[in-house]
Structure 1
């Protein structure tokens, strides 16, 4: 549902006076406001407080991690309501409760009931039996048209394996505003396209002084979007949490800092991913992997707290790492001289492993799914990892419900045979 004139529903607690237009013949020069008015800086907070107080009165509980999440349980049926300014997403296992909620909100506020969720904040949502598919196909096509790349030659990967960007001080400079606009647009697209995350973040590091070589790299990313415009995230059923971390040791040529990459899954569903250059220069691969695993652990702890708002209690979450030394540092509770150069900030990973919040588990390098967030990969490896992460092309199995069912059965297989017990 969408709230009409959301900011006009809020009550303001401060004394606010407005002046009149000179042509209005109103007695008195100032008028005191009783409700919010568009243009006030108090508007968003006033609207949120009004909506929050109303939902709490109706028996909803506010999320402890996400303050825009409201949950309620009615006769064993969970009801979830998510707020984004004036757009509201809600759902329940009992369809009758959803209709009652819509009627209740319409009586209190002026609402537009949009119906089943199929488009939200630029995301296109396809709800089918067995799962949900989210993609930004329309946004992707508009992006290619905006930067005049609609007729470009498609390419299968966003970056070549022998393409290593650097500052290129002697290169030909380009228009900074255009380059930044392209990077900003691509960063928003990474919300449903994890496969271009590493490439976009790498190009984003040169926004201060972009050169022609950097623009060529960005255009290659757009050419890869032309090749796969309908790719998105497939979310089948499943709720087992899993974290995967990886790093690219000294992979950034400018300052030789490593790149941390990680992803988090619920069952077969990819719900969180990241690719970020580390703040310090790692002296060994073990240190780089250890720092990356620490960042992955922090996200796992956040997810575990978020699950509590939905009534889900997580036990020890597996964290997959392909570096034996980093795994041993996390499990060893004795501070060795070999690790004294590692900042104490990163050793919280060891504490949470001891508490049982996470379990460091080894994984073979060739089965490391997080490689797609840290390295430049060949076409075969790139496509395989993308498929393993449930980043799929909707057009491949859209026409037939049977095809969707067969695809769902394939995707619900465990990632690694030796980790079948985790699923």
Structure 2
């Protein structure tokens, strides 16, 4: 990808004069629009009509739009035969010429490879004016424009030059010029194009002094491994009506970085066939003041260069040449670099790194100092991540400079490190509450949040790779604020944010310290924090807007609008409720673990499944098994229907067998058939809190321990669930159910205390249990042979029943929703309970 974020080169050649134009495209689909503008301009300027268009069978050229255009304009469209590049001779030869010239120019002075577009554009500019057409004894420029070109302004590409610094900020004693690299000629004015390595931009100026004899490498030549030349061309042959042979358009699109293949470079919104030829042909001094460069080069996609009907006797490069060129394709910003060397190739990542360092400057994170004697310096490293939206599309490239915190020494470089983060149950409770109250939730994140946290310790870090101060290469940075990677960084950021919110009238949650609330009249503003990601909403829209303004006044924020994607959860806020799913993630799992072609199943585990340690079974790859389990556990954030099956298989991660692998593959096949399932949080008239508890007595075939299953609903919406093996062997069904009820009680008590910050109070929260004996044990402290041995901690629930916090109520076994968390069920029962959990597929 080029500096202007183009990916494809579109080369157009006039068959008669061999005059060449090059456009750069971000997407192949743009080829048609460029051709329409180009053809209209050329026909208007020259008074000629395009008679023939030659191309391959690429979709950019063989489509309904091109067919309609050819019919409307009376163009004759011709296609080369498949796999016959010799029929595309003119454009193939031109493409190769431009590639070789550009490659040579780039390597002569080791110009950074990401300037390939400048090299190609310059090559095309020179070829049009300096190469003689042997049969006609004239240059393409002379044949096209009608006069001999002036080439006195030509300079050596890549040579060192000095540009007058016309910035108003230049003082009397500042340097009057900027050192740069000559990379071509302006297409819009009589000016040179100069690349400035210090600021990584290309500018245009007439006030340039050249040092063409300085055969020195550019500053970045040795460190930047850039995009290699990959040519893509499209050729058009123009001829006058009734006089010249038909016009041919040859349009192989090959993938390159913005500036790889040159020609007459054109602005994206203006396809001018003469702008590039004329600026320097007049005998006038070279041009004008520095201004932001206009992207004139255009790119084109990768296609076979066998698309034009040409003279079959002319020798051309064969298709095998393309196979060799594929190896030179560079990374694009959709890929995450593994090292600074890889990132330094792509201008997108270079910009991302510069943005990160600019953030350091704005936040006054550090200062450059000499390392005091006896002090330890901590290394730094660049980490690259693509930020994705809810559909998995890359929305931005994020370069993060991190400290190598593993070198820190406790008591010297850091003290306390703990910082709270929101639980998923907290997020789901907020979603359920918002759905019930009918208000919209929003999300935002703090840019480089950790850089806002003050630290008390004296910490020194190395200068970032690739950005070392040339005057003080041995200096280090003394940190004033936290840096990502430092052990105390999360705590420092949380402390800064917490202090700021408390100072502005917010109240921190007594149980959930990542929840902050603010009340005004009868309205409540809720703010949930997960490190640097923030969810907020209010029953009064004004309060939400004020909070957004408040945060922006103190921190640099990235406003992301309405909540739609958070911690991997896809969230759809609709008029009558909220839908939570992980469809995108489920599809990724299906593809990752190779079950795309497998038959989907109706249940995650067969009713008669007998899974145990299988000590005599065939071992399997432990890393693969743990990877599947970990991925499925993450999926349970919105898929309670697979909770039991995943937790059961997770018990055997220490020594997995093929039988266990078969079981997890079955879960994946079930997910394949239900990948669009999610949780529906509808609006309810009552915002009540309800729990369900169940147990599978002696369900484990090895140690005969029981499994507890619990789930909790807020306002009819499932917000919490669990499936756990009990830690002790129960002697009866009643005991197993009683222990499970205690587990449900602990979760409900936490939720009740958290919801007090929502100004919600609950008494005698019902816990639905289908075992009468367990209910009686919770109400009557009677000791007899069947209960006297129960561990004291399990009688925790009895105390809260007496206090009136919770109460156990009987529910019929068929209505026991928690049954889905304790054992594999028949298909019909599984589907019924899944529906009662609030799981459904949302139709678009």
Kindly report which structure 2 residues correspond to 1:92-241, keeping only aligned pairs within 5 A, or say none: 92-238=538-684, 239-241=687-689
The answer to whether residue 735 in structure 2 is matched with residue 287 in structure 1 is yes
SS at match of 2:786: helix
Kindly report which structure 2 residues correspond to 1:373-392, keeping only aligned pairs within 5 A, or say none: 373-392=821-840
Match for residue 256 of structure 1 among 700, 704, 713: 704
Instruction: For residue 391 of structure 1, report the CA deviation from its aligned partner.
Output: 1.3
Question: Who is 1:65 aligned against?
Answer: 511
Mapped partners of 2:474, 2:650: distance in 1: 54
Mapped partners of 1:76, 1:10: distance in 2: 34
Match for residue 525 of structure 2 among 79, 94, 97: 79
Mapped partners of 1:351, 1:2: distance in 2: 43
CA deviations on 1:392-418 (whole Å, 9 max, x unpaired) are 1113xx4xxxxxxxxxxxxxxxxxxxx
Structure 2 unaligned regions, length at least 5 = 1-443
Instruction: For residue 28 of structure 1, report the CA deviation from its aligned partner.
Output: 8.1
Question: Who is 1:332 aligned against?
Answer: 780
Structure 1 range deviating more: 23-32 or 229-238? 23-32
Instruction: For residue 30 of structure 1, report the CA deviation from its aligned partner.
Output: 5.4
Mapped partners of 2:464, 2:672: distance in 1: 52
Structure 1 range deviating more: 37-46 or 132-141? 37-46
Question: Who is 2:449 aligned against?
Answer: 6
Asked if the contact 1:294–1:348 (Cα under 8 Å) also holds between the matched residues in 2, the reply is yes
Structure-2 change in CA distance of 1:79 and 1:171 (3 Å): same
SS at match of 1:41: coil
Mapped partners of 1:21, 1:70: distance in 2: 36
CA deviations on 1:174-210 (whole Å, 9 max, x unpaired) are 1000000000000000010000000000000111111
SS at match of 2:562: coil
SS at match of 1:245: strand
Mapped partners of 1:27, 1:375: distance in 2: 64
Instruction: For residue 150 of structure 1, report the CA deviation from its aligned partner.
Output: 1.7
Instruction: For residue 272 of structure 1, report the CA deviation from its aligned partner.
Output: 0.7
Instruction: For residue 9 of structure 1, report the CA deviation from its aligned partner.
Output: 0.9
Instruction: For residue 334 of structure 1, report the CA deviation from its aligned partner.
Output: 3.0
Mapped partners of 2:806, 2:668: distance in 1: 38
Match for residue 15 of structure 1 among 442, 458, 461: 458
SS at match of 1:114: strand
Number of aligned residues: 396
CA deviations on 1:17-60 (whole Å, 9 max, x unpaired) are 33558964439855532111222111111111111111111111
Structure-2 change in CA distance of 1:19 and 1:205 (3 Å): same
Kindly report which structure 2 residues correspond to 1:351-366, keeping only aligned pairs within 5 A, or say none: 351-366=799-814
Mapped partners of 1:35, 1:108: distance in 2: 15
Structure-2 change in CA distance of 1:380 and 1:8 (3 Å): same
Mapped partners of 2:521, 2:806: distance in 1: 34
Q: Which has the higher helix share?
A: 1
Mapped partners of 1:252, 1:390: distance in 2: 28
SS at match of 2:487: coil
Question: Who is 1:417 aligned against?
Answer: none
The answer to whether residue 723 in structure 2 is matched with residue 275 in structure 1 is yes
Question: Who is 2:749 aligned against?
Answer: 301
The answer to whether residue 691 in structure 2 is matched with residue 243 in structure 1 is yes
SS at match of 2:760: coil
Mapped partners of 1:177, 1:21: distance in 2: 34
Asked if the contact 1:268–1:389 (Cα under 8 Å) also holds between the matched residues in 2, the reply is no
Mapped partners of 1:184, 1:225: distance in 2: 15
Structure-2 change in CA distance of 1:10 and 1:366 (3 Å): same
Structure-2 change in CA distance of 1:172 and 1:21 (3 Å): closer
Question: Who is 1:420 aligned against?
Answer: none
Mapped partners of 2:610, 2:781: distance in 1: 39
Structure 1 unaligned regions, length at least 5 = 399-423
CA deviations on 1:43-99 (whole Å, 9 max, x unpaired) are 111111111111111111111111111110123211011111111111111222222
Structure 1 range deviating more: 21-30 or 262-271? 21-30
Question: Who is 1:34 aligned against?
Answer: 480
Structure-2 change in CA distance of 1:389 and 1:27 (3 Å): closer
SS at match of 2:611: coil
Structure-2 change in CA distance of 1:28 and 1:168 (3 Å): closer
SS at match of 1:113: strand
Mapped partners of 1:384, 1:353: distance in 2: 31
Instruction: For residue 340 of structure 1, report the CA deviation from its aligned partner.
Output: 1.1
Name which structure has the greater RCO, CA cutoff 8 Å, separation 6+.
1
Match for residue 315 of structure 1 among 763, 767, 780: 763
Mapped partners of 2:785, 2:732: distance in 1: 14
Give the structure-1-normalised TM-score. Answer: 0.91
Mapped partners of 2:454, 2:786: distance in 1: 59
Structure 1 range deviating more: 128-137 or 12-21? 12-21
Mapped partners of 1:176, 1:223: distance in 2: 20
SS at match of 2:604: coil
Question: Who is 1:411 aligned against?
Answer: none
Question: Who is 1:404 aligned against?
Answer: none
Match for residue 56 of structure 1 among 483, 502, 511: 502
Structure-2 change in CA distance of 1:16 and 1:337 (3 Å): same
Mapped partners of 2:591, 2:535: distance in 1: 30
Mapped partners of 2:528, 2:664: distance in 1: 34
Structure-2 change in CA distance of 1:20 and 1:123 (3 Å): closer
Question: Who is 2:797 aligned against?
Answer: 349
Mapped partners of 2:831, 2:476: distance in 1: 65
Instruction: For residue 336 of structure 1, report the CA deviation from its aligned partner.
Output: 3.0
Structure-2 change in CA distance of 1:217 and 1:21 (3 Å): closer
Question: Who is 2:317 aligned against?
Answer: none
